[in-house]
Amino acid sequence: MEQQTAQRCIICSQMKEEGIVIVSHFICEDCESEIVHTDAEDAKYRFFIGQMKQIGLQKNA
């Protein structure tokens, strides 16, 4: 079994082991779930979008 190491979530800044990596940036499974279930009209959704702007996509990719 593969052992996972804790990573810092770009949304909540907590160290977690379970989550996803998008372009080398980690989002914990708790934040991922909250993002998916938050209505786009909710003020918290804008916070999530702001935090996810840290994910810089490579040009010419």
Q: Using pLDDT thresholds of 50, 70 and 90, give the confidence band for residue 53.
A: confident
Residues 6 or more apart in contact with residue 28 via CB below 8 angstroms: 9, 11, 12, 14, 16, 18, 19
Q: Say what the pTM is.
A: 0.78
Signed CA dihedral, 12, 43, 54, 26: sign only:
positive
pLDDT on residue 61 = 46
Q: Using pLDDT thresholds of 50, 70 and 90, give the confidence band for residue 57.
A: low
- Enter the DSSP assignment of 30: H
- Enter the DSSP assignment of 45: H
Report residue 11: phi and psi, to 5°. -90, -55
Tell me the β-bridge partners of 16. Answer: 7
12-31 tens-digit pLDDT: 999 999 999 998 899 999 99
Domain ranges of the chain: 7-52
Q: Taking residues 37-42, what's their average pLDDT?
A: 95
